[in-house]
Structure 1
Amino acid sequence: MKVNESNVDRIIRVVVGIVLLYLGFGGVLGGVLAIVADIFGVIMLLTGAIGFCPLYTLFKFSTLKK
């Protein structure tokens, strides 16, 4: 796995992941929507933390400056 996210991209992903987890676990959302928010929140946190997005690789995309 090669890093394919810029620092700005990673920060945005971590912030969005935290917000989604808050919405899901914090009781703001309920039912299936809360579960979906939690799943996407974890995915965003993980991809932001490691700097690798599998979808970017699939579409041959990167936010890193060359």
Structure 2
Amino acid sequence: MVQNLRDPATPLPGALRTRRALGERARMVTIDQGGHVAYLSGSNICGNNAVNDYLVTGKRPAHDTYCPAQQATP
């Protein structure tokens, strides 16, 4: 799962409930950014790399991951 911290369409509390419901095999990458689309729409390298790594290798992160906010690049 990939979740923006401030997603107006799918707020974090609902994502946390879904994460718990999916159990121990699931992982959630929470990105400190706003907006609804998390992957590739923002400049958060940590979040994009977490998804890229999974898509390329098929391996989930070892644990849930928090990606802190990054300053936008011009």
Q: Could you say which structure has the greater relative contact order, defined with CA pairs below 8 angstroms and 6 or more residues apart? A: 1
More helix by share: 1
Q: Give the structure with higher Rg (CA).
A: 1
